[in-house]
Amino acid sequence: MAVKCPEGHLNSDGSAFCNQCGKPIPGAADAGSDNIEPARDSATEADAPPAEAKPQTRWKIYAIVAGVAVILITVAVILAITITGAVTSAQEEAAATAAESARLNLLSDAVGGCLLSPSVVQDEGRSAFLDNSGDDFGSGDLTIAQVFCVLDGLDTPDAVINHMSQTRSLDGTQSDTWNDFSATWTYHPDNGLDIIIKLTDG
């Protein structure tokens, strides 16, 4: 398509200047510039440093990192509390087991300390029967000294021992408690002083 210069001369399409008068052809420079792309410096683009992250992006990253840190700290605290609780529970259970084992040995230790037969202790260490000998043959095989030896080994208070010593045959069954023990007893000249000692519930 032919284009005209300001003087009206016809020129071929795409001409920037008139071939006859040399004047610029209006619109030719603009039309040509539409199709011209600026040269790119590939080396400059390749070497250019990456654009800085936008502030909003940085704050998002900080928020994510802070959230992860909070979660990790929370998990660590929960684990620490759980482990501490488990250790404490195990220690308390071990202490309770040791204490109960020691309790179950109280009667055996007292009887053994008086050099008596282990058969005096019954119910897996939870009770003992002190069968004092009386006037009747076969009423019992423990002397009164052996009976009070066991009572002394159990830290029996003087009040309880006096109560036992003063019991008469007509008083029937008597009872008393101290520390970890309860005791019931009877006395008759024919049967002697017969005492049943039990561990109380811990």
Number of structural domains in the chain: 3
The pTM is what?
0.56
Mutual orientation of helices 144-153 and 158-165 as an angle, nearest 10°? 160
Q: Which domain holds residue 112?
A: 107-199
pLDDT of residue 36: 43
In this structure, are 99 and 132 located in the same domain?
no
Q: Is residue 44 one of the residues assigned to a domain?
A: no
Q: How many CB atoms lie within 10 A of CB 109?
A: 14
pLDDT of residue 148: 96
Q: Is residue 50 one of the residues assigned to a domain?
A: no
d(C-alpha 124, C-alpha 107), whole Å = 10
Which of residues 104, 124, 142 is at a domain's end? 104
d(C-alpha 47, C-alpha 28), whole Å = 37
Per-residue pLDDT tens over the stretch 64-73: 888 899 999 9
- Tell me what the pLDDT averaged over the chain comes to: 85
CA distances for 155 relative to 19, 118, 188, angstroms: 136, 19, 25
Q: Which amino acid is at 21?
A: C
